[in-house]
Chain A
Amino acid sequence: MKYKISRAVSFLALMVCLALAWLNFTARLRSESFKLWFLIFSVVYFVAAAVSLGEKSES
């Protein structure tokens, strides 16, 4: 269960990163804000992906 959740979170974080880039491309998000949020969701991705990796190897 934990594996599925962390996997879903990591996938969602990637999708959010892509959506942020789209918002910046369409001028709905300023560059500075985009870079900050992109970094935050990248960290979320790595944490969730690392957790899912750990869970997978345990199972």
Chain B
Amino acid sequence: MALDLSGIAARMDRLYEFDREPVTPDKFKRGVLFASVFAGEHVAATEFVIGAFFVLHGLKAIDMVFGLLLGNLLAVLSWTFLCAPIATSTRLTLYWYLRKIAGSGVTLIYNLANAFLYCILAGAMISVSATAVGLAFGLKVPQLNDVFPGSPLWVLICLGLGLLFTLLAILGFEKLSRFAGVASPWIFLCFIAGALVTLPKLGLRPDFSNFWEVATAKIWNGIATAGQQQFGFWHVVFFAWFCNLAMHVGLSDMALFRYAKKWTYGFYSAFGMYSGHFLAWLCSGIMVAAIGREMHPGKMAFEALGLAGAVAVMLAGWTTANPTLYRAGLALQTVTGWPRWKITLVAGLVTSVLSCFPLFFMKLLDYVAIYGLVLMPIGAVVFAEHWIFPKLSIPRYQAETGKQVFNWKVLLVWAGSLIFAFALPLHLYFRWLPGYLFALAFYLVLNLGARRSPAKKAPA
């Protein structure tokens, strides 16, 4: 059966029709909204896992604190100087801007890649929730290096939760997403309260006088758990930086910043970074240290906060998985043309099956790195097109003006920079930056032939 590309492109356009036009000044939002969106989005189930993994990877306290401070600063600067200026200058989503640059075919591939990556992320979140639900059934959580499910009970709980989350995503995204907004301040409070009540168990005195001693000896003691790679300062810096790579350097947060009055609103991302990716990561590290460094988010929250802790982990998993499933459904809807409920059901079933494999949950840090890496070259292409092309007199939006479905140069840069990044003899966390610079340079080189002569540039 031949693939009806024009039909798919038309469906995709209809789906995103509501944000086709640039945002007008009357729709601009206040800065406080950006602060609350960032603070809400970046306190999620992943925080229970990431902060704990840093402890298991044997980080030293000083590397953890200063690495997170620097890495999160770099992330904030990436939002502020890369993403927000393009968003406030075009007032478009990445979808529509990329369509002008790369054509509807490339945008379709981008959407599909995003949907697949979203499904895996949602699957990992279901696994995190399963660790909390499993407490009630005495479930043995998979080991750190497990790839396949170890018990039928684990499979049953993951599938059950996956189906429940899918059903909720189908029933009403709008109302549930508003409920997720209600849950996030409480989940953040659970991180803080959980860490606070755990600290005395690690030997902290109420006057905090021995805090650094406890932090360096009992929590971030520099000793990696057996089978886990030893991490240092730069691992933390780069992880905190690329943790949301697809959103800032990859520019998918253009959808948010197109509502900003000015590009400096990018600095509001600090509210998400320093609450979720600093405080919450430190808190989950403290909690995991108190349960003998076992990767068991449900248990670590339950030990600290009782039933409320287990509920917090489950809710955090659900509030992260729910919009992720919705987005995956939206992206896939363009290809199949099915109603949203049907495609969300399919995405949910796939996600539920994926969640049974502990690989995605136990290798979450690596997965986050790969997720950002795969989508990053598109950010480089858009950056080059937006800022560098005009300076070099290269015509912009070649796909739009040439009515191309596929801008082969974009595809070549995407594939080429991924091959380049994966071939680099570097740790996975450090590959995206040279990969990004390579993508920028490669895209420029491919387009140099299209430069306009000065005479053409300034006609008499």
Contacts and interface: CB of A to CB of B under 8 A. Distances in A.
B182 A25 contact: no
Given A20-B193, A34-B197, A46-B186, 20 more contacts: A14-B185, A17-B189, A17-B193, A18-B189, A18-B192, A21-B193, A21-B197, A24-B197, A25-B200, A35-B305, A36-B306, A38-B305, A38-B306, A39-B306, A42-B308, A45-B186, A49-B182, A49-B186, A50-B179, A53-B182
Given A21-B192, A21-B193, A25-B197, A35 B307 contact: yes
Contacts of A27: 200, 206
Contacts of B305: 35, 38
SS class, residues of chain A in contact with chain B: helix
Nearest to B198: A25
Nearest to B186: A45
A37 to B, nearest CB: 10
Interface residues of B, number: 20
Interface of A: 14, 17-18, 20-22, 24-27, 31, 34-36, 38-39, 42, 45-46, 49-50, 53, 57
Most chain A CB neighbours (cut-off 10 Å) among B179, B199, B200, B306: B306
B291 interface: no
Interface of B: 178-179, 181-183, 185-186, 189, 192-193, 196-197, 199-200, 206, 305-308, 311
A35 B308 contact: yes
A52 to B, nearest CB: 8
5 contacts: A38-B305, A49-B182, A50-B179, A50-B182, A57-B178
B190 to A, nearest CB: 8
Contacts of B179: 50, 53
Counting chain A CB atoms within 10 Å of each CB, the highest count among B182, B192, B307 belongs to B182
* Chain B at the A interface: SS class: helix
Contact of A18 (B182, B193, B306, B308): B193
Interface centre among A27, A35, A46, A50, by most B CB within 10 Å? A35
A31 B196 CA distance: 12
B306 A35 contact: yes
Contacts of B181: 53
Given A25-B197, A25-B206, A36-B306, A46 B182 contact: yes
B306 A25 contact: no
